[in-house]
Amino acid sequence: MKDYLYSASLILLSIAIIISVPFGVSFSENYLISLQVPSNNSNVAGIQKYNSPPTPGDLSVPDLSARGVLVLDLGTDTMLYQKNADERVPIASTTKIMTAIVASDYFKPNSVLTVNDGASVIGSKVGLSRGESLDFRSLLFGLLLNSGNDAAFTIAENYPGGLIGFVSAMNKEVLSLGLKNTHFQNPAGLDNQNHFSSAKDLSKITKEALKNVELARIFATKDTQVSSLDKKYIYQLHNLNKLLSSVVGVLGVKTGYTEEAKENLVTLVNRNDHRVLFVVLGSDDRFGESTKLIDWVYSNFTWQ
């Protein structure tokens, strides 16, 4: 009788284990997926995963003139707000986020680049002189702080295949990231009917850039000094993003302006270890409207 009870107990226990295993495996896989953090970006970019998205309160969204807007909680990859997020619009110098990605994938920080035709490009500049040489890291600072078009074209001209090869690499990266509403015609963001992106695509480009520790640090840099390799030319660089000095928790990322694109700003914010990405395109007041959105998000949403 004891042997019978013992055998029956083993059978029941085996059935219970078989039934429970699929549930346990499924639960574990889903849980791990929800906590995955992209490599190389958890400390600098600050993308920390949470189990549930933030919940909204009752505050109404600020009035915005911006043509395209997207607000993304990076912890859960949850869109908190959007306005025409898929609309194709000119993006001016926010283009340089992609320029930085492509260039950083090829050049090393100490790679030597020489200034050629890029010195004469129109628009915002570092002030580079034809014939001078700088290391790539210095040009990155000039590209992302001063938004130097001369730095952007210098980087492209030193890339395999020159300017054409570099722009082609930018558009290959577009395909790699699966972007549907983006195409590049130049590395600086000069207005062109074939040069455009969207708020949603630009958020994906920025997330990719933030995986690079060095780029994330440069995005958050307020001021620095760089020089040509022979020390003949010295440049004082100042980040054009005013929010770095005026709004709590701002960690960059990039400004942009042309007459056609109007005012543009991509902003990364970290408050109480909650990272949120803001994309504002085609605005009449990029800094004011981004500040309103930042205050609205951190006053309106609650993280569990």
Contact 76, 52 (CB under 8 A): yes
Give the gyration radius of the chain's Cα atoms: 24
Residue of 104, 124, 147, 283 marked active site: 147
Question: Considering only CA atoms, which of 71, 63, 112, 288 is closest in space to residue 200?
Answer: 71
Angle between helices 162-176 and 149-157 (to 10 degrees): 100
Q: Is 147 in the active site? A: yes
CA distance 255 to 123: 14
Q: Looking at the DSSP assignment, which residues form a beta bridge with residue 187? A: none
Contact 51, 75 (CB under 8 A): no
Burial of 68 (0-12, 13-18, 19+ CB in 10 A): buried
CA distance 168 to 171: 5
52-57-63 Cα angle (round to 5)? 115
Question: Considering only CA atoms, which of 177, 202, 178 is closest in space to residue 261?
Answer: 202
73's enclosing H/E stretch is strand 68-73
Tokens in use for 16? 């219970």
Residues with a catalytic annotation lie at 93, 96, 147
